[in-house]
Structure 1
Amino acid sequence: MGGPRPSFIALSVTAMNLGSKTFSHGEDTQKHRGIAAKLWNLRESYLSLIVDIQAGALALNEGREVRDRLQQQALEVYGDAPRTTPKAYAAAQLALKDKEDLTFSPREIDQLLPVDLRKTGERPAREIE
């Protein structure tokens, strides 16, 4: 009645089920994209906060309250973020530290900041024209 065929089928189904639960790359990718979008929004909120404080649109105490709310939001975003694997961490560390991927020169960093926050005071080429 039994034999090797039903055992092989049961083993195959178990392996496929385990594999689909263990390797949910598409779902993880979507989670990472969602977290990245939330972090981008936080970054923009911090930049706006800095500009508002420098422009005098917010008092220092109001700025601190906004900063505290943003820090709480960041904590919540990171709490929802998918965990990384040691292999992924090592690959990122190699890329950032040894290969210097995604690193920026001081001039490139200045181009990302509002003009008033730049060290060089240079305007991007788009603004000069």
Structure 2
Amino acid sequence: MKNDIKMLQNVVRHSFTAVAETHKIHEVQADIYIARYTVLEWIRIIVAGATSAGLIAILFEKDEFWIKLITAIASFITAIITGVMQSFDLKDGESSQKATARKLLRLRDEYITLLMEIRNGRRDYESLLEQYKSLEKQKHEIYEDAPRTTDKASRKAMKKLHVNLDNQFSEEETDILLPEYLRGEGEVVTKQ
């Protein structure tokens, strides 16, 4: 039975890691989408302003070919950017990536709870296995509905997790955020 528990713990740890990494990938993909949207929106605003300025200049300088040319180019760029933004709805993409990331975050926390329950040894193997199977079912449902991500998002997420240690906190960092009575290695209260 001890081997079964140890094997289950290893499998849960693996699933936890996969979910934690996938969560971060979806967060990063959402960030990429919103950054692209912001850049395109600023370019569109600037080019639309240039188009308007060019149209006003044409009213007063009718024979200036270069003003007409620049205005036409600016208008064309505005149309292209508008088309791209409508074809690739980056705001919707960001929203669906964030929604998936939130689901994965909740699932990640449930894997942590399951690992804690495995470690404390108060539950039997069968009930732990059932909980694991339930979490795996949830994971596969989330993955099935999850929007696609890019290699760029995956690389950035792995760097954040494994180089920048995004999801890791020192004791001091944790203690700063907790109320004083919950800090440090406080006394654990157990059922008598």
TM over 0.5: yes
Distance in 2, matches of 1:25 and 1:107, equals 38
Alignment equivalent of 2:93, drawn from 1, 4, 28? 28
The separation in 2 between residues aligned to 1:95 and 1:51, in whole angstroms, is 25
Kindly state the Cα deviation for residue 91 of structure 1 after the two structures are TM-superposed: 3.3
Q: CA deviation at 1:82?
A: 1.6
Shift of 1:21: 1.6
1:1-129 map, 5 Å: 16-22=82-88, 24-53=89-118, 54=120, 56=122, 58-97=123-162, 100-102=164-166, 104=168, 126-128=181-183
TM-score, normalised on structure 2?
A: 0.41
Label 1:55 to 1:107 Cα distance change in 2 as closer, same or farther (>3 A): same
How far 1:61 moved relative to its partner? 0.5
Query: Which structure shows the higher helix fraction?
Result: 2
Length, aligned pairs only:
106
Task: Tell me: higher relative CO, structure 1 or 2? Use CA pairs within 8 A at least 6 residues apart.
Answer: 2
C-alpha distance in structure 1 between counterparts of 2:134 and 2:99, whole Å: 20
Counterpart of 2:100, as a letter, is: I
| RMSD of equivalent CA atoms | 3.8
User: Could you say if the C-alpha distance between residues 47 and 81 of structure 1 is closer, same or farther in structure 2, counting changes exceeding 3 Å?
Assistant: same
TM-score normalised by the chain length of structure 1 = 0.56
Aligned to 2:5: none
Relative to structure 1, the CA distance from residue 37 to residue 126 in structure 2 (aligned partners, 3 Å threshold; closer, same or farther) is farther
Q: Assess, with a 3 A threshold, how the Cα gap between structure 1 residues 104 and 46 changes in structure 2: closer, same or farther.
A: closer
- In the alignment, structure 2 segments of 5+ residues that lack a partner are 1-74, 187-192
Unpaired runs of 5+ residues, structure 1, are: 1-8, 112-123
**What are the Cα deviations for residues 7-49 of structure 1, in whole angstroms up to 9, with x where unaligned?**
xx9xx76763343122x22112211221122112212322333
**Alignment partners' CA distance in 1, 2:162 and 2:114:** 30
Task: Tell me what 2:44 maps to.
Answer: none
Amino-acid identity (%): 25
Report the CA distance shift for 1:86/1:45 in structure 2 as closer, same or farther (over 3 A): closer
Q: Which has the larger radius of gyration?
A: 2
